Amino acid sequence: MELRNKYQIPNNAIITIAGTVGVGKSTMTSSLANALGFRTSFEKVDTNPYLDKFYDDFKRWSFHLQIYFLAERFKEQKRIFEYGGGFIQDRSIYEDTGIFAKMHYEKGNMSKVDYETYKNLFDAMIMTPYFPHPDLLIYLEGSIEDILERIQKRGRPMEQSTPVEYWIEMHKRYESWINSFNACPVLRINIRDYDLMKEETSIEPIIERIGYFLKQTQLLKK
Ligand SMILES: Nc1ncnc2c1ncn2[C@@H]1O[C@H](COP(=O)(O)OP(=O)(O)O)[C@@H](O)[C@H]1O
Ligand SMILES: Nc1ncnc2c1ncn2[C@H]1C[C@H](O)[C@@H](COP(=O)(O)O)O1
């Protein structure tokens, strides 16, 4: 709260944290929300009824999983909207469509008709009032070596048994996706530049950058 005032972060801001699996989104979401006195919107992994099955058989479960994630994100968007902002969101909806659904369609794990159905549903959802663009998307980036190490250390069994090529492909797709992303302002942060696990105080310089960045984007809007 104190840091929010110090760096003049609006109390209704919506900040979303993006980046590939294992890069540190959840850790960043918790630290930022804690430091700013914001609410969190997390992806629920443990209660996802499709995720294990999906990692076992992409072809069989890709469509089901995407629909499930879309429904979950929609509920979260609605919650964020009803509270009037003041949220840190762990992963953006843009990544579901721009990274995961696209990748699985292009890899042949989702049929064309399923992919079209998914996209139609997504387009219909974002036309509702519940989808204001975030004020800021923080993109966490790091080397594939560091990310693979984090995935391994975290040790979710379904991710351990997934071939390393999957994570390498996703990492590449993230890099090109963020380079053309323009739905909202983007602040890129390299994971080598902070360490929230060892040094809780490393959140302050990040909040300072967010404050500065939000001010610049507000000025540009005027
Ligand atoms: N700064 C850091 N240094 C080392 N490990 C980290 C750091 N931040 C997160 N981790 C670890 O990396 C793993 C992935 O982080 P997580 O926040 O769950 O990523 P994501 O939500 O992007 O999948 C976790 O085991 C977490 O404890
Ligand atoms: N839209 C998605 N499609 C497939 N898999 C997804 C999607 N969103 C998240 N996931 C997976 C990736 C990870 O195994 C877990 C949680 O993601 P994380 O980046 O660790 O928060 O869900």
Task: Confirm or reject: Cβ of 44 under 6 Å from ligand 1.
Answer: no
Q: Which residue has the higher pLDDT, 160 or 44?
A: 160
CATH code of the domain containing 119:
3.40.50.300
Check residue 132 and give its pLDDT: 83
* φ, ψ (nearest 5 deg) of residue 87: -130, 145
Residue 159 in marked binding region? yes
Q: Is the pLDDT of residue 133 over 70?
A: yes
SS3 189: strand
Q: Which ligand is nearest to the CA of 51?
A: 2
User: pLDDT, tens digit, for every residue of 3-24?
Assistant: 999 999 999 999 999 999 999 9
How far is it, in rounded angstroms, from Cα 118 to Cα 154? 30
Q: Determine the structural domain holding residue 202 and report its residue range.
A: 2-221
C-alpha angle 2-196-203 in degrees, rounded to nearest 5: 30
For residue 35, which of 1, 80, 68 has the smallest C-alpha distance?
Answer: 1
Check residue 172 and give its pLDDT: 98
Residue 75 in marked binding region? no
Q: What is the ipTM of this complex?
A: 0.96
For residue 92, which of 134, 144, 152 has the smallest C-alpha distance?
Answer: 134
Q: Is the pLDDT of residue 36 over 90?
A: yes
Contact 77, 131 (CB under 8 A): yes
Check residue 200 and give its pLDDT: 85
For residue 167, which of 22, 7, 46 has the smallest C-alpha distance?
Answer: 22
Task: Confirm or reject: Cβ of 153 under 6 Å from ligand 1.
Answer: yes
Q: Is the pLDDT of residue 216 over 80?
A: yes
Residue of 16, 31, 150, 158 with the most ligand 1 atoms within 8 Å of its CB, for mutation? 150
Q: Of 56-70, 155-169, 189-203, where does mean pLDDT reach its minimum?
A: 189-203
Residue nearest to atom 16 of ligand 2 (CA): 45
Check residue 131 and give its pLDDT: 87
CA of residue 59 to ligand 1 center, whole Å: 28
Contact 36, 4 (CB under 8 A): yes
Contact 197, 153 (CB under 8 A): no
Average pLDDT over residues 35-41: 97
Check residue 1 and give its pLDDT: 66
CA of residue 17 to ligand 1 center, whole Å: 13
Residue 90 is among the residues annotated as catalytic for this protein: yes
Check residue 220 and give its pLDDT: 67
CB environment 63-92: b (16+ within 10 A), e (fewer):
bebbbbbbebbbebbeebbeeebbbbbbbb
Residue nearest to atom 1 of ligand 2 (CA): 96
Check residue 221 and give its pLDDT: 67
Write down the catalytic residue from 46, 52, 56, 90: 90
CA of residue 27 to ligand 1 center, whole Å: 6
Q: Is the pLDDT of residue 222 over 70?
A: no
CA of residue 150 to ligand 1 center, whole Å: 6
User: pLDDT, tens digit, for every residue of 75-116?
Assistant: 999 999 999 999 999 999 999 999 999 999 999 999 999 999
Domain count, the chain: 1
